[in-house]
Structure 1
Amino acid sequence: MLAGRLNVKTREFAMVDVPVPEPARDQVRIKVAAAGVCLSDVHLIDGTLGLGRENTVTLGHEVAGTIDALGAEVTGWQPGQRVILQAGERNPSGRMLTRGVDYDGGWAEYALATATTLVAIPDSLPFDQAAIIPDAVSTPWGAIVETANVRPGQAVGVWGAGGLGAHGVQLLRLVGAAPIVVVDPLPAARERALALGADVVLSPTDADFGQRMWAETDGAGLSAAFDFAGVTAVRDQAVGCLGAGGRLVLVGLSGQPFTVADSTAFSFLQRQILGHYGYQPGAVEQLVGLARRGRLDLSGSISDVLPLAQAADAVARLQSKEGNPIRLILRP
């Protein structure tokens, strides 16, 4: 079968032929129907993010498809069922392992998954939309409802309206945050944020940025600010927009140091900086339910669909932000 493999040592990415994998006793084999291309995949290839493997790995942590074969001990599932795969799982020691990072992912014609990581999806949810729920949708969902504990009526800021931030806007509106202020340097991204439900959009370089931010929050500042970009300048700006007790949630990964310039004011106002990664158990099931009942519309999230063989082109397009994509999908 065809698979998108990354050589961990050389950072060389290539589409290669590999054997179709056989499921272990507790695994299922999935015939992949759609796999998302995430900025994290780009960073794995360019070396910004480290890998847990020592040799090569098939990328792709956003995967949807149908069950193709069952391991000997798997019960409760049948071939042909439509499923998405959780983006990771814990090993026996409790360490979280990520699909497409610590073990082979879904940029392939077939993928293996432990049966406990499967989530059934309804026929009404297209594979392209379902595939992006683990990570592109569930990561901002976890940041909002778990890490930041956003409540209705709280003022929030979103820095970066790309693959994570665009869904963050939708989900913040779903939980009743208000106002939702989106900050992005790209005019097209700001327009998109408005269409998705933002109340206010700002450029980070606006001459009256601070004045407008505080005016929109009635002088109280933000209850929560989300860095979906993973950029130090974003974090510097966002922390200064927090009100008393405000939380800055670091969702975008940067690997760079971050310094609080005025630690006295930070402490006096009891502000917080919170790290976030992934999502809590049950989040994917919640989001599938919201999509099934029409509370969450992901139809506008799929910017383009490319053949699996063109994975390298998809990576280049995402890296250059060609067309300002939310999510690109690979289809075997």
Structure 2
Amino acid sequence: MKATRYEGNKTFNVIETEVEAPAKDDVRIKVAYSGVCGTDVHIYHGMMDKRVNFPITIGHEMSGTIDAVGDNVTTYKVGDKVVVRPLDDRGVKPSDKGFNHICEDLKFIGIDSPGSMQQYWNVPAFTLHKLKTTTDLKLAALIEPLSVAVHDVRLSQLKHKETAVVLGGGPIGLLVAMVAKNTGATVIISEINPVRISKAQDLGFDVINPTHTDLIQYVKEKTEGRLADVVFEVAGVQPALDVMTEIAGIRGRIVMVAIHGEKKNIDLFKFFWKELKLIGARVYEKEDYEKSIQLITDNQLPFEQLITDIQPLSKIQEVFENIDKKPDGLKILMDCQL
């Protein structure tokens, strides 16, 4: 079979290796598609060299079909369409308070152990979620990032007819916006990239470029001065942190979706003055995956418009090089059987 190996120093290789039988509690998946996410790009840029052990097969946004099952696996069978929730929580402790998705010893499959950018992938059966036979496996490859968005919106407690502002219109930002809008909320997206602005507009969103339009004033006008009920900070840049407390209304909720690796300046006075809440959100839980699967299965939202390219696994080096050259794309899928 073909498998990709990240060697470090912005270098991928595609190798031929043996297909392995699954261990007794594992299944072997014939991987259909594997999405390229921001974390994969961070690995490519060397930003996670202290964590990742080279060489490694990366990837965790995927869809596929079970090809073989281990001796102890009875819940799944060969031919089942599945996705993997790539969290290995076998190190959970009582001090983790039952929140296995953020337990102290959590391992992320595809980062801390081999991932999905290969033709066949052996994974623990407890990580699987079964799909319907009619599920489009291209769309199913979006279930992992969609689950991030579902988790973010669920933790925000966003309600029907409330106003949400999404700071950042990249892949996760657009998914957050789609899930938020699906709750019946009014959604405004703030984004500076013209290609992503155009895509968000094509998806029917109210989008502004904050370098051209005063975002605070715009939100005031749209809400008759009430400002946003929920703000999703997805951009991960200081200007977004500066404005998030300004556009949140009284008792507004701010959800920190972006990952900030260093300490940043935040206007804490606004939290006192307006009784704001800051909500951390990390990955997802089982119920978020199930909700995402239902959204994909219902196929009532234009998820297919987020897929901007599909490339064969054999071109993985070229794919990552092109992301650096043209970073305004949305979701690129690797066809893991080519």
TM more than 0.5:
yes
Q: Distance in 1 between matches of 2:195 and 2:127?
A: 36
Q: Distance in 2 between matches of 1:149 and 1:286?
A: 15
Q: Distance in 1 between matches of 2:288 and 2:69?
A: 25
Aligned length: 325
The residue aligned with 2:231 is: 225
Please say if 1:37 is aligned against 2:18: no
Superposed displacement of residue 19, structure 1: 3.3
The residue aligned with 1:286 is: 291
Instruction: Give percent identity, aligned residues only.
Output: 26
Superposed displacement of residue 325, structure 1: 2.2
SS of 2:73's equivalent? coil
Task: Please provide the CA RMSD for this pair.
Answer: 2.0
Aligned to 1:142, which of 138, 144, 151?
151
SS of 1:282's equivalent? helix
Do the aligned residues in 1 keep the contact of 2:80 with 2:133 (CA within 8 Å)? no
Q: Distance in 1 between matches of 2:4 and 2:258?
A: 24
Q: Distance in 1 between matches of 2:221 and 2:125?
A: 51
User: After superposition, what is the alpha-carbon deviation per residue over 1:55-109, rounded to whole angstroms, capped at 9, x for unaligned?
Assistant: 4321101111111111111112111211111132312335322121111110001
Superposed displacement of residue 11, structure 1: 6.0
Please say if 1:325 is aligned against 2:329: yes
AA paired with 2:324?
A: Q
Aligned to 1:195, which of 202, 208, 229?
202
The residue aligned with 2:2 is: 2
AA paired with 2:230?
A: A
Do the aligned residues in 1 keep the contact of 2:81 with 2:132 (CA within 8 Å)? yes
AA paired with 1:106?
A: S
Please say if 1:183 is aligned against 2:186: no
Task: Within 5 Å, give how 1:1-332 maps onto structure 2.
Answer: 1-7=1-7, 12-49=11-48, 52-93=51-92, 94=103, 95-134=105-144, 136-145=145-154, 147-178=155-186, 180-198=187-205, 200-261=206-267, 263-322=268-327, 324-332=328-336
Q: Distance in 1 between matches of 2:198 and 2:242?
A: 24
Do the aligned residues in 1 keep the contact of 2:241 with 2:266 (CA within 8 Å)? no
Q: Extract unaligned runs of 5+ from structure 2.
A: 93-102
Superposed displacement of residue 51, structure 1: 5.8
Superposed displacement of residue 287, structure 1: 1.7
Do the aligned residues in 1 keep the contact of 2:57 with 2:114 (CA within 8 Å)? yes
SS of 1:57's equivalent? coil
SS of 1:92's equivalent? coil
Do the aligned residues in 2 keep the contact of 1:162 with 1:189 (CA within 8 Å)? yes
Do the aligned residues in 1 keep the contact of 2:89 with 2:106 (CA within 8 Å)? yes
AA paired with 1:167?
A: L
Bigger mean CA offset, 297-306 vs 201-210? 201-210
Alpha carbons of 1:25 and 1:217: their partners in 2 closer, same or farther (altered >3 Å)?
Answer: same
